Amino acid sequence: MADGWTDQRQRTLINFLVYCPAGMSFVKTVDASDVIKTANALFNLFADVIEWVGPSNIVHVVTDNAANYVSAGKLIHEKYPNIFWSPCATHCINLILKDIASIPHISDLASRASKVTVFVYNHMILLSWLRKRKSWTEIVRPGVTRFATVFITLKSIYDHKVDLQTLMVDQYFTSHKLSKSANGKMVSSIVLDSKFWQDCLTTVKIVGPLIKLLRLVDADEKPSLGIVYEDMQRAKKAIKTMFRNRKASYTPYTSILKMRWDKHLKRDLHAAAYFLNPGIFYSEGFVEKANVLRSLLDLLDVETLCDDSVAAMQEIQLYRDCKESFGRESAKRAASRLEPVRLLHQTSSSSGCERNWSLFEQIHSRRRNRLEHQRLSDIVYVTYNLRLQSRLHRKKRNYDPIDIQSIDTVDFWVMADEDDPEFTNGDVEGIESLIYTDNAMPSYPNDGGDMEVEMDMPDVVIESSNTSFDGISEDAGFGLPVYDGDIGTLNDDYDF
């Protein structure tokens, strides 16, 4: 896995890690400022790491979605046919959420919701009243990425609908001077607006499957390559079902999924893993598609992966027909629990290595001599790997093995933006003491939106319609539908 990031001096640094079923290992961090713009130079950098690890030990290289990484990934596969490249699934899903959040009516909805949370969290007298309610939990909770936080907070606000509406009509608030202020009147009108809550529900139902998939691919505990294809198809199907298969209504959302999937994430490796995942293949809902089987056959043509393609085809036929060993009851029971190691034990995301890498800037400082530089590099290498191992044993997916602070993703919902404080401790001893502290706080990966392939969004023509059907009514254009059905039946669909 490779994670590229830019430090405060605008240097491009790349951190290399190795993933396997036993866990992750940190390899090294490199200042790639001079090579990042050229695909060939970037490929040479990757090739050095591949040779160090051993080409025969590598199945899959995962990076972010920048165009230079895409080109370097193609060069890697050309030189090492047994090694496949794919972009980070977490980045791709985050970009899908970013595109959805950029749709005007959803952006406006998030803005209105943030006015509610900012008003509540900036007036302790209101927050204290809410915290006394038995059902109260905090509204703002950080998600895996900044755009995931937007939708998670929208869902959380919807879950607190009764609490917030009760506050707005209670004498405790109506008799207070805050209710007479301009902000108080604005927030009260938002909270008491039924359309606002209907839009919140519709939005979280749209992104619910994507948020669930994002959490699965971002988790370190279980390999996710075998579920990406299936869950992307489920997400598209869920959106279509929600809009009653009305193409004019679901197209703005499914077109975003299709565009990002086809341009970024769709790879033979994902389709083959989907086919070879017995838990999915033997399920009732599995649909065998020609392009999926074609992707699997393309992998069989790679000689380094398959010595005898004819024998492999025969085994695939046995697998499809559930015959011989595949038909055993023990094999059927194990299908949903065990996974083939070679392919399905691959990660689909590099976000597992994405933490706040600010301390790594010190390794590339020019102010220290060669001995200090090597000493600090060794310290970071040993310490980070020890704490990665500790995180594996503790099974805490967000335990940060090196950093002392989290990347804050919730400022939009509670306060105005502020500049991040600079890290100024430049001496090796100070950094050592900071690394070895036991008070490391969990850190959340960044949203991955800084490095992406520029894309032209398709012009989607939406037919204006005000027709109501089975509890769903639509606004013209990109307006959200209104869900008037039984809320109790929606928990499995919209709950994250």
- Whole-number pLDDT of residue 116: 93
Q: What does each C-alpha distance from 401 to 372, 387, 406 come to in angstroms?
A: 22, 5, 12
* Residues 190 and 115: beta-carbon distance below 8 Å: yes
* Residues 60 and 225: beta-carbon distance below 8 Å: yes
CA–CA distance, 345 with 221 (Å, rounded to integer): 11
Sheet holding 468-469, edge to edge: 468-469, 472-473, 482-483
Encoding tokens for residue 64? Answer: 């972010």
CA–CA distance, 245 with 138 (Å, rounded to integer): 36
Closest by CA position to 479, among listed 198, 179, 121, 68: 198
Tens-digit pLDDT string for the chain (496 aa)? 887 777 677 778 788 888 776 677 778 878 888 888 888 999 999 999 999 889 888 888 888 778 888 889 889 988 998 888 888 888 888 889 999 999 999 999 999 999 999 999 999 999 999 999 987 888 876 655 677 888 988 999 999 999 999 999 999 999 999 999 999 999 999 999 999 999 999 999 999 989 888 887 776 556 667 778 888 888 889 899 989 899 999 999 999 998 888 777 777 778 888 888 777 877 777 777 888 888 887 777 765 566 666 777 778 788 777 777 777 777 666 666 655 555 555 555 555 554 544 555 555 455 544 545 566 667 667 766 676 666 666 554 443 332 323 334 445 555 544 444 444 444 445 545 544 444 443 333 444 444 444 444 444 443 433 333 333 333 333 344 443 443 333 444 455 5
- Whole-number pLDDT of residue 404: 26
* Residues 179 and 439: beta-carbon distance below 8 Å: no
- Whole-number pLDDT of residue 307: 65
Strands 84-87 and 60-63: parallel
Closest by CA position to 452, among listed 19, 107, 63, 76: 63
Query: CB-side exposure of 396: number of CA atoms within 13 Å?
Result: 13
Three-class secondary structure assignment of 62-75: EECCCHHHHHHHHH
Domain range summary for the chain, segments of one domain joined by +: 1-87, 355-444
Encoding tokens for residue 10? Answer: 């605008």
CA–CA distance, 77 with 104 (Å, rounded to integer): 40
- Whole-number pLDDT of residue 446: 43
Strands 472-473 and 468-469: antiparallel
Q: Which residues of 346-357 are buried (b: 16+ CB within 10 A; e: fewer)?
A: bbbbbbbbbbbb
- Whole-number pLDDT of residue 461: 41
CA–CA distance, 155 with 451 (Å, rounded to integer): 28
DSSP string, 88-118: -HHHHHHHHHHHHHHSHHHHHHHHHHHHHHH
Q: Which CATH architecture describes the domain 1-87? A: 2-Layer Sandwich (3.30)
CA–CA distance, 144 with 152 (Å, rounded to integer): 10
* Residues 296 and 272: beta-carbon distance below 8 Å: yes
CA–CA distance, 485 with 221 (Å, rounded to integer): 37
* 39-47, long-range: CB < 8 A, 24+ apart: 39/68, 39/71, 39/72, 39/75, 40/75, 42/68, 42/69, 42/71, 42/72, 43/71, 43/72, 43/75, 43/76, 43/79, 45/14, 46/2, 46/72, 46/76, 47/76, 47/79
Closest by CA position to 6, among listed 56, 81, 50, 66: 66
Side chain identity, residue 105: H
Encoding tokens for residue 149? Answer: 């936080």
Encoding tokens for residue 250? Answer: 């679901």
CA–CA distance, 46 with 55 (Å, rounded to integer): 11
Q: Which residues contact 69 (CB under 8 A, 6 or more apart)?
A: 2, 4, 42, 63, 87, 451
- Whole-number pLDDT of residue 168: 94
Q: Which residues of 316-343 are buried (b: 16+ CB within 10 A; e: fewer)?
A: beebeebeeebeeeeeeeebeeebeeeb
Strand, coil or helix: 85? strand
